[in-house]
Amino acid sequence: MRMVICDDHAVFAESLSLVLADAGHTVVGIAYSPADVMPLLRIRQPDVCLIDLQFPSDTALDWMPRLRAASPRTKFVVLTGFLEQPVLDEGIAAGVRGFAHKGQQAGDILAVLRRVADGEVVTDQAVRRSGTRPRSQAQQVARFLTPREREVLTRLARGESTQALAKAMGVTRSTARSHVQSVLSKLGVHSQREAVIEAARHGLVSVETGEWLAG
């Protein structure tokens, strides 16, 4: 499956891209606005385009006629943190083939993409998961992380490397790697990019700013 990702949250988009690539799919491009994704669609003609719903000045639905015209065979999946039924109805009417929720695990988002690629119209995941994750649940996850591990997680969400982590925290690279590994273990993931996605899923950090959200 050949895919394009369009999301103005760069760390989230790039992390998800790597997870999808690890699953054996080809991400042929990443864009950070609907205007920027237009040439990618025309040139690459992907099977699926995963696009965020909200952008600073407009929405993916505002762009949908132009996006579909740029790549008529591409199937569009809208990614959102919150979805109301009228928006879902508008999206389906505009030609969106599926909705995925930012609160889902990367594997669940991939499952939506696969179902859409196979010809389904997928709305059940977004509706069932719409709304924000309860803060108490985020706090339950957060309480297993030490203050140092929380700092590591916020820095990972900002896209910092292990070397940058070590320098900012005043520790050796070996110690920084140890902190990172501890975070991965507690979140039940195997890579830094998965940690960022999982942290966003649990409402621990903001993928936009890297800010700690869980109190």
Contact 38, 28 (CB under 8 A): no
Q: Which of the four pLDDT bands, split at 50, 70 and 90, describes residue 29? A: very high
Place of tokens 């140092």: 148
What's the pLDDT at 129? 44
**36-45: which pairs have CB atoms within 8 A and are 24 or more residues apart?**
36/6, 37/4, 37/6, 37/67, 38/66, 38/67, 38/70, 40/4, 41/4, 41/67, 41/70, 41/71, 41/74, 42/70, 42/71, 44/2, 44/4, 44/71, 45/71, 45/73, 45/74
What does the alpha-carbon distance between residue 99 and residue 79 come to, in Å, rounded to a whole number?
6
What's the pLDDT at 130? 42
Check: pTM over 0.75? Answer yes or no. Answer: no
What does the alpha-carbon distance between residue 174 and residue 162 come to, in Å, rounded to a whole number?
9
**Is the pLDDT score of 127 beyond 60?**
no
Q: What 3-state DSSP class applies to 161? A: coil
Q: Which of the four pLDDT bands, split at 50, 70 and 90, describes residue 87? A: confident
Domains recognised in the chain with CATH numbers: 2-129 (3.40.50.2300), 135-201 (1.10.10.10)
Q: Which of the four pLDDT bands, split at 50, 70 and 90, describes residue 136? A: very low
Q: Which of the four pLDDT bands, split at 50, 70 and 90, describes residue 102? A: confident
Helices 192-201 and 173-187, axial angle in degrees (round to 10): 50
What does the alpha-carbon distance between residue 21 and residue 26 come to, in Å, rounded to a whole number?
6
Sequential DSSP letters for 57-83: S-BHHHHHHHHHHH-TT-EEEEEES--
Question: Which segment, 8-22, 157-171, 185-199, is predicted with the most confidence on average?
Answer: 157-171
What's the pLDDT at 16? 84
Return the amino acid letter for 57.
S
What does the alpha-carbon distance between residue 129 and residue 141 come to, in Å, rounded to a whole number?
18
Determine which helix (DSSP H) or strand (DSSP E) holds 30, and give its type and residue range: strand 26-31
Return the amino acid letter for 80.
T
What's the pLDDT at 133? 45
Per-residue pLDDT of 142-151, as tens digits, reads 778 888 998 9
User: Between 59 and 199, where is the model more confident?
Assistant: 59
User: Phi and psi for 78 in degrees, rounded to 5?
Assistant: -95, 130
What's the pLDDT at 139? 59
Q: Which of the four pLDDT bands, split at 50, 70 and 90, describes residue 14? A: confident
Task: Pick the closest to residue 127 from 104, 93, 94, 105 (CA basis).
Answer: 104
